Amino acid sequence: MIPDDGDMSTITAALAGTSDLPWLAIAAATLASYVLGALWFTPLFGRAWDRSIGHVPDGPRRFALAYYLVPLVSSAAVSVALAVVLMLSRVGDLVAAVAVGAIVGLALAAVSVNNALTPHTPHPFAHGAIVGGYHLTSTVLIAVVLGLLG
């Protein structure tokens, strides 16, 4: 629930993007999430992810620029959104920040599993678990960074 202290300036500023958001912490959280994704979808779970979507690599891959930019922008969007949620809910300690991150991460993970359930995904539950697991872990990591640095 948004605090009801009669002062809408915090809410207005947060939603307008001109607030006192912890931009350095957001940048660090974005980078942490992005690096986690690079590790998650290549050495950690890359082969399992490939199998889950029915992809058989036929040699070294060369990816388009969007393959790198979209995850970076997505990491930034989740970091900013979580920073706004933490600010609006006036979360002031690391444990509470991690709890909020876990709740948001579980929601993102559930959406990932749901999105994986298509007739075109050969192994939707494996795909959902890999992608959803990343979103949960990444969102908690973002919350930790924001809680420590924000």
Q: Tell me if 118 is assigned to some domain.
A: yes
Q: Which pLDDT belongs to residue 1?
A: 43
Helix (H, G, I), strand (E, B) or coil at 74: helix
Paired tokens of 54: 């029915």
Full residue range of the structural domain in which residue 102 is found: 21-55+63-149
Q: Mean pLDDT of successive 10-residue segments in the chain (150 residues)?
A: 55 61 96 98 94 89 90 98 93 95 97 94 96 98 96
CA atoms of 122 and 109, how far apart (whole Å): 19
3-state secondary structure 13-68: HHHHCCCCCCHHHHHHHHHHHHHHHHHHHHHHCHHHHHHHCCCCCCCCCCCCCHHH
Q: Tell me if 1 is assigned to some domain.
A: no
Q: How many CA within 13 A on the CB side of residue 16?
A: 9
Q: What is the number of domains present in the chain? A: 1
CA atoms of 43 and 4, how far apart (whole Å): 47
Q: Tell me if 76 is assigned to some domain.
A: yes
pTM: 0.87
Q: Which pLDDT belongs to residue 18?
A: 47
Q: Tell me if 2 is assigned to some domain.
A: no
